[in-house]
A and B are shown apart, each in its own frame.
Chain A
Amino acid sequence: MTAPERLNGAEALIKSLEMEGVEVVFGYPGGAILPVYDPLLDGKLRHVLVRHEQGAGHMAEGYAHATGRPGVCIVTSGPAATNIVTPLADAMLDSVPMVCITGQVSLGAIGTDAFQECDTTGITRSITKHNYLVTRAQDIPGVVREAFHIATTGRPGPVLIDIPKDLVDANNPDSYFDFDWPEVPELPGYRPVLTPRDDVVTEAVDLMLAARRPVLYVGGGVLKARGANVVLELAEMLGIPVVTTLMARGAFPDDHELCLGMPGMHGQFTAITAIQECDLLVAMGSRFDDRVTGKVATFAPDAKVIHVDIDPAEHGKVRLPQVAVAGDCRIVMELMVEEIKQRGPEAQADIAPWRQKVSGWQEKYPLTYKQSAPGEGLKPQYVVERLRDLSPADTIVCSGVGQHQMFASQYWKFNYPYTWINSGGLGTMGFAVPAAVGAKVGMPDRTVWAIDGDGCFQMTAQELITASIERIPIKVAIMNNGNLGMVRQWQQLFYDERYSEVELGQDLPNYVQWAQSMGCVAFRVEETSEVDEIIERANAINDRPVVVEFRLVEEENVYPMVSAGASNSDVIVDPSQQAALEAERAAKATDQSSDGFPTSIADTHQNASS
C-alpha cells in the first residue's frame, strides 16, 4: 500500500473531481472559491471561464444533456451563488445530472452577514435534488462522491456542494488531511428502485396487448435511462403510435411511421388527438406536465393509464394510473419486450383500424405554414426546415424559450437521441447559447446549432465570448422577429391584441456587429433566396463560433395551439386547416347527440369559439 497523500481541502476537491472522471468544469472565480482555483492550475481538469455564472450552469446542463455525464460548475459565494440559481432550478425541473460547487465564507463567519455571504444551501434547497454545506475539510472526498452518486442515479438532478473558504485554504493547517477516496456511499435514505415488480409489468403488458387504441407517451425519462433503442423495439413490436414530449424529442425517430411528433400546447394535431382518443396511454418517463395535458379533467378521457417512472412520486401526481410501474424506463421496457415476445403476436388485439384513423389525421392535419412573399421577412418555419436539411443529420440543436423553440421542435426532424436540448420545465430564456457551448464541449465532433430568439439571445449572448476564446465553435441562429414573440402571440389571442411591452425592434442591437465584436463570424439573412447559401457557409466554418441573424416576419403564430386551461380536444390548428376541423367537429357533434352519445368534447369547443 502506498502512503496516504496529505492534501488540503482544495487539492482534495480537485483530486476528487478527477477521481469522478470529470474532464471539464465550467466556472468563474471569486473571493470564497479562490483557494480552489490555485490547485486547478496543476491538475488535469479543463476549466471553461464563462462570462456570467448563469452561463456556467447552463453549460453544465448542455454538457450533461449531450453526453449523459454529469455537468460540473464551480462558482464563488454570494452573488455568484445566486446567479447560478436559475440553472439549478432548470436542472431540477428537467432532471439534469449536475454538480455545482459554490464557495462560502469561512465557517466562523457564516451567519454574520459577512462580505458575499448568502444562505446558499437554504436558497437552493428546493431546487436541488440534494445539497451540502461541508463543515470539515476531510469530508470533501466523501461529499463529492455522494454528490455525483445522487446527481446521476435514480431520477437525475442537480446537487450543490457549498464549501466554506477556510476548509480549502492552503494556509489553514486544519484544512490538511490524509486523502482517502471512499467507496460509493451507503445512503440509508436513498435507494432508487430500478427493477420493477414482475406482477406490475405483467399487468401492464396485459393492458398493452388488449388495447385497441394505444398510444406510447414517451418523456425525458426514456433519454435519461438511455432507452431509445428499447423504445424503438417495443413500439415496433406492438405497432403502437408514439408521441415524444418536448423533453423527449429524438428518443424515437421523427421519420418513423409510428412517430406522431410532439403532444401538448403546441404539439402536432395527430399527437394531441391520438392521446385524446386513445383507450390506453402508456406513459414512459413522462410526467403529465400541464403543457402536455391542457385541462387535466378532459385529458385522454377514455384512456386507461400505465405510468412507468423511476420516481414513484410521479405516479398519480397529476393523473391516477391504472398500473403504476416504478423502475428505470429502459429496464422496464426490456422486461415488457421479453414478456410480449413470450406471449406471441396472436396475443395482441387488432389495432389496424386505430392505426388507420391516426394516419388519416396525419394526412389531414400536418404541420403547415404559408411561405412569405419576397421583401416580407423570413418565415421561422422555413428557416428551421432549411437549417435541418442543410446540416448533418446528427446535429445537436439547442433552443431558447418562445416561439422559435416550438418551431424548432416542430420542424426539425429528430432522428437520433440527445440531439435536442432545451429548457422544458423551467422555460428559461437565455438557455440556448450556453447550453450549446456545453454540448459542443462534450461532443466536439458534432455540429451544434443554437436556435435562439432575439429576446433570449440578449440574455446570455456574452457566452459567445467564452466560445470564441475557448475555441468552442458553436453556431447560433437568431430568429429575429423583433418581438417577445410568444408573449405577443398570447396578447394577440387572449388580450385583444393589446400589445404590452413585447416589442424589441429588429435593428437594435446590431446582431452582426455584436457577434463580430465577440469574435464570431456573423451573417444577416433577409431574403428567402439567401437562406441556403448562408447556412451552408455557416456550416462550413468549424474553427470559430458563427452567428446568423435571420430577419423574420414580425408576426407569425405557432400552431397548433391549445389555449391555456383549455381542453386538448379544442386544439386550434393552422388557419388554413381550422375551418375543415370545425366542420368535422360540428358533424361529429350532431352525429353523437342524435345517438345519445356524450357531446362534451364538441360542446366545449363551441363554447370556446363563441
Chain B
Amino acid sequence: MNPNRELSHHTLVALVENRAGVLARVTDLIARRGYNIISLAVAPTNDDSLSRITIVVDVEKAPLEQIVKQLFKLINVIEIAELAPADAITRELVLATVEFTPENAAALDDVLARAAGHVLVQERTETSLTVSAGGSSAQIDALGAALSVFSVVHFQRTGQVALPKLGQSVPIMRAR
C-alpha cells in the first residue's frame, strides 16, 4: 500500500529537541484524538541536540490543521510543517528476507535485476537472501508486490522520511 496514495494520508515533519519523552508527547497527541499513525521515522539531525520526526498520519485535512497547531504547542517542538507529496522528496528504506528454491531462483534474480537501481543484496545463502532497498514509498510498494510471489520472511520498512524539494517554499511553523 502506498502511504501517499490515500488523500487522507499526510506527511508531517517536525524538528524537536532530542530529549527523553518528546516522541511520546508527539505520538500521544495524535493517538488521543483517535488517528492512526501510518509510519514514523525519528533520528537525531546533524546537530545531535535536535531530532527530526517524520510522521505519516491518516487524518482528514481539517483536523490535521488542528493537530499540527497542537503539536507546535508542545514545548519541545521547534518547527513543524506538513509536506504535500508534490512538494517533497520522500524516501524509505526496507530490509527484506526472501526464501527461494532452485526452481524460482532465476525469477527472483530477475526481479532484483530489474530493481537494480535501488536494491542491494546484503546477504545470500543457497535458500534465502536479504536485500535492502531505498526509494520512494511507491518504489518500495512495487518491490513488495514483486517479491510477494516468493516466500517473503521479513519485509521491514523504516517508514518514510521527507524533505521539501529545493526551491519549494513550504509553510513551516517555527518558534524562532
Interface residues of A, Cβ cutoff 8 Å to B: 121-122, 125-126, 129-130, 133, 135, 150, 187-191, 311-313, 316-317
Contacts and interface: CB of A to CB of B under 8 A. Distances in A.
A365 B21 CA distance: 54
A457 B21 CA distance: 38
16 contacts: A122-B24, A125-B25, A133-B20, A188-B78, A188-B175, A189-B16, A189-B17, A189-B75, A189-B76, A189-B77, A189-B78, A190-B175, A191-B175, A313-B69, A313-B72, A316-B65
B80 to A, nearest CB: 10
Interface string B146-176: 0000000000000000000000000000011
Interface in B114-134: none
A188 B17 CA distance: 8
Interface string B59-99: 00000011001101111111000000000000000000000
B108 interface: no
Given A125-B28, A126-B32, A188-B78, A313 B17 contact: no
Contacts of A317: 66
A122 B74 CA distance: 15
A150 B20 CA distance: 18
A313 B175 contact: no
Given A126-B29, A126-B32, A133-B21, 14 more contacts: A122-B24, A126-B28, A135-B20, A188-B17, A188-B78, A188-B175, A189-B17, A189-B76, A191-B176, A313-B66, A313-B70, A313-B72, A316-B65, A317-B66
A313 B24 contact: no
Nearest to A186: B176
Contacts of B73: 311, 313
Given A121-B21, A125-B24, A189 B74 contact: yes
Nearest to B68: A313
Contacts of B176: 188, 191
B32 A187 contact: no
Dominant secondary structure of chain B at its interface with chain A: mixed
Chain B interface size, under 10 / 10 to 19 / 20 to 34 / 35 or more? 20 to 34
Contacts of B72: 313
Interface of B: 16-17, 20-21, 24-25, 28-29, 32, 65-66, 69-70, 72-78, 175-176
B94 to A, nearest CB: 32
Nearest to B79: A189
Nearest to A154: B73
Contacts of B17: 188-189
A164 to B, nearest CB: 13
Contacts of A313: 66, 69-70, 72-73
Contacts of A133: 20-21
B14 to A, nearest CB: 10
Nearest to B31: A126
A589 to B, nearest CB: 33
Q: Which 6 A-B pairs have the closest CB atoms?
A: A313-B69, A189-B78, A130-B75, A191-B175, A190-B75, A189-B175
The interface centre, meaning the residue of B70, B72, B75 with most chain A CB atoms within 10 A of its CB, is: B75
A161 to B, nearest CB: 13
Nearest to B77: A189
B75 to A, nearest CB: 5
A119 to B, nearest CB: 10
Contacts of A189: 16-17, 74-78, 175
B75 A150 contact: yes
A150 B73 CA distance: 11
The interface centre, meaning the residue of A125, A312, A316, A317 with most chain B CB atoms within 10 A of its CB, is: A125
A121 B76 CA distance: 15
A129 B65 CA distance: 20
A490 B45 CA distance: 55
B59 to A, nearest CB: 15
A516 B78 CA distance: 55
Nearest to A150: B75
A316 B21 CA distance: 29
